[in-house]
Amino acid sequence: MHENMNEKCAVVGIYNHEAASKLAYFSLHALQHRGQEAAGISSADGNKLHTIKKRGLVMRVFDEAKLQTLSGTSAIGHTRYSTAGDDSILDAQPVFARYDLGEMAIVHNGNLTNAQEVRDALIKKGAIFQTFMDTENLIHLIAKSSKEKLIERIIDAVQRIEGAFSLVILSRTKMFAVRDRHGFRPLSLGQLPNGGYIVASETCAFDLVGATFIRDVEPGELLIFEEGKEPQSIKIFEPTPKHCIFEYVYFARPDSSVFGQSVYQARKTMGQELAKIAPVEADLVVPVPDGGVPSAIGYAQESGIPYEMGIMRNHYIGRTFIEPTQEMRDLKVKMKLSPMIDIIKGKRVIVVDDSIVRGTTSRRIVRMLKEAGASEVHMRISSPPTTDPCFYGVDTPSKDKLIAANMSTQEICDFVEADSLAYLDEEALLRSVNSDMHEEKYCTACFTGKYIV
């Protein structure tokens, strides 16, 4: 369970602002949906780095007094989301280290595919590891690099790692942002109202702190932030974009723009495409909140069937996926979603969700709607069947637990006890996410098993 501990996360970096750690804190709030397990911020005051990180939501980890101690004009932050089990605070980020050039802190979103080899090689040479995070490999690679300057060491280190990484690195005076050659995970650059800079996993963080979007950090690019200079760009790798299509399907927030396109618009188009591919006669279109909302709107608009909020979501319960055991997951779905009986009773309902992973959520929802009196429940999924696990930073269970890897659509329909079930197909998904970009620009491995690295 321990090889992949840097799953879907959020990173942020603030450079040249007197309230850097506060802006990082606000940004992490906007990025909370990318990870609820732990949060952390490191700041740099020119002489020293200061770090606070803890398990829990951003709001619980920080308060005014704590943010006061994170002094300095630059800061990096992280929210962490991982699969099961490890309770260790050591696995929270930023990862901080003292080394021969001074101090540094790193935040990382993504998963390295050669983490174990790199780690084994480092351990053979005497390195000691404290956590299971891929990110610790990077700290060692940078610290042990024979190059003289930090920037050269960062380049040296990232050339030894493979897989998905959007990184922000903080030294006492500089900040660095790096994206892997495929640009698996998003990372955008923006300008703060005072002229300082922000890099963040999603642009919804920019909106919160009043920053203006400049551009995405390019796949394979290193950006260097230095006092009194414009950000410098170095191309470390030849870019070969393979953006994660699941960011559009589920992961990113609808008010963000990722990989050059609005997430909301992409999701709504997926719903419209779904209505064209898989129409069905019914009285209502109901989203599974919150993930299914934009695509249900698209489905309703395309089909002309009324959209209704037939399911209420309790917003004070975290994401159901987090819980490690099946039993807990079942319970959490019940706590989280409740039917609007007056709306649903006696109606033929089309229920729209973004994906089916294990099938547990869908079955609960169908049962819930039927118990509430729905006469028919037609399940529509705004992505193709999830058949393969992700090795690039999205938390999916192993193949044996992915229902679509083991059952046909009809079998899944029977399992979730729906009257009908239909998915979006790969072509329609690609059509939805940017007309001028084609299949090669995206990683679709979770739907196709076509892995790149």
Contact residues: ligand AMP, CB under 6 A: 250, 288, 291, 319, 321, 353-362, 394-396
The sign of the torsion formed by the CA atoms of 103, 65, 13, 6 equals positive
DSSP secondary structure, 301-347, as one string: HHH-PPB---EEE-TTS--GGG-SSHHHHHHHHHHHEEE-HHHHTT-
- The closest alpha carbon to 315, from 55, 33, 8, 63, belongs to 33
Give the amino acid at 1.
M
Closest CA to 5 of 90, 103, 77: 90
Are 166 and 187 contacting, i.e. CB atoms less than 8 angstroms apart? yes
Note the Cα 325 to chain centre separation in Å: 22
In the complex, what is the shortest distance from the CB of residue 362 to ligand AMP, in angstroms, rounded to a whole number?
A: 6
Using the minimum distance from each CB to ligand AMP, give the nearer residue, 283 or 354: 354
CA 113 to chain centre: 17
Q: Which CB sits closer to ligand AMP, 33 or 78?
A: 33
Residue 343 near residue 310, CB atoms below 8 Å: yes
Catalytic annotation present for 443: no
CB 15 within 8 A of CB 2: no
Q: What minimum distance in Å lies between the beta carbon of 335 and ligand AMP?
A: 14
- Closest to ligand AMP by CB, 82 or 269: 82
Report, in Å, the least distance between residue 159 CB and ligand AMP.
29
Of the two residues 51 and 383, which places its CB atom closer to ligand AMP in the complex?
383
Listed residue (193, 194, 182) closest to 158, CA to CA: 182
Helical spans, DSSP H, in 176-283: 204-209, 246, 263-277
Cβ distance to ligand AMP smaller for residue 73 or 386: 386
CB of 242 to ligand AMP, least distance (A): 18
CB of 170 to ligand AMP, least distance (A): 28
Tokens 């992409």 correspond to what residue?
266
Helix (H, G, I), strand (E, B) or coil at 408: coil
Min. distance of Cβ 81 from ligand AMP in angstroms? 8
- Per-residue burial over 91-109, b = 16 or more CB atoms within 10 Å of its CB, e = otherwise: bbbbbbbeeeeebbbbbbb
Closer by beta carbon to ligand AMP, 150 or else 443: 443
CB of 80 to ligand AMP, least distance (A): 13
Catalytic member of 9, 204, 413, 446: 9
Residue 79 vs 355, nearer CB to ligand AMP: 355
Give burial (CB, 10 Å; 0-12/13-18/19+) of 239.
middle
Dmax over CA atoms of the chain, in Å, equals 72
Active site residues: 9
